Structure 1
Amino acid sequence: MVLEVSIARTNDRIAMIESALETARDSSNDDTKSSAGDKYETSREMIQQDINRYQGQLLEANKDLLQLTNIATTITDATDFVKLGSLVKTNLGLYFIATSIGALKIDDMNVFAISPVSPIGQLLLSKKTGDSFLFNKLNQTITGVY
């Protein structure tokens, strides 16, 4: 369920970025040369910066989607250690080791989708049920790995 919500959230993000990119490209094409040359050049440059930023965001979102899709094809039923694709339950919360999507509300649970290369993701990798770790001055104990 967490994986499906993560994929849906990432697909929504991709659609929003593609829409913003299309709007920026339309603005670039519609922008006509004005009598104030500097104003025109500044406007064109700002639009181009927006396009470049959206293209970068789209690239990252597509990488996230690919990673989530790969997790979907490699998930096993049981695991002893935290790895990519694990849902980790601690005494303070739930973490999904996948991509940095952030907080997900699933039914009545809050799950934090985090990257394995994030600081907390690095702390969690290879840990198992019963292990403890310190993050942001809070000691947490892993109570389950799924």
Structure 2
Amino acid sequence: MEKSKILEIVRNKIIEKIQKFENLIAETRASSNDTKSSMGDKYETGREMLQQEINNLQRQLNETLGQQSLIHKINGEPSLKVQNGALVKTDKGLFYISASIGEIVLENQKIMTVSAESPLVKAMAGLSKGQVFSINNVNQTVEEVW
């Protein structure tokens, strides 16, 4: 399985997420400008709620931009141990260590994208083929690292 294809899928999903957040922020700002009213306190409450929504979307956008920055540092080179950018097969599943964007499917195989900060990756960090680790009292064996 080509890691470069997986990396490209992850990059594209992050770009889509960034565009979605930028569009939502722009739409929310536009609706904020449209809420002009002579209702006094209700007007201010509505504007404050919209501003909180903008702040929430901005926070999510910043997190996604951080994921994008991390992804740009990953190359498609083979890995010998579990680290950022590695594709890891355990007896429980296939994991791509990069940004956590959920499950992707490539060549009819489900691959879970996980962050290097996740408990799973922390438990298996630095391991290589054949080594065993435990998470939540469940042992897993690293079957392959690409």
Question: Percent sequence identity over matched residues?
Answer: 35
Structure 1 stretches lacking a partner, 5+ long:
none
The correspondence of residues 114-125 of structure 1 with structure 2, limited to 5 A, is 114-125=114-125
Mapping 1:48-127, distance limit 5 Å:
48-72=51-75, 75-77=76-78, 79-127=79-127
CA RMSD of aligned residues (A): 1.2
**Letter matched to residue 76 of structure 1:** E
Structure 2: runs of 5 or more not aligned = none
- State the secondary structure of the residue aligned to 1:25: helix
Cα offset for 1:10? 0.6
Q: TM-score, normalised by structure 1?
A: 0.91
Alignment match, 1:29: 33
Distance 2:102 2:124 in 1: 16
* 1:12-45 CA-partner distances (Å, limit 9, x unpaired): 111111111111110111110232x221111101
Structure 1 residue 68, shift from structure 2 partner: 0.6
Which residue number in structure 1 is paired with residue 6 of structure 2? 2
Distance in 2 separating the partners of 1:98 and 1:65: 10
Per the alignment, residue 47 of structure 1 pairs with 50
SS, match of residue 45 in structure 1: helix
Aligned residues: 142
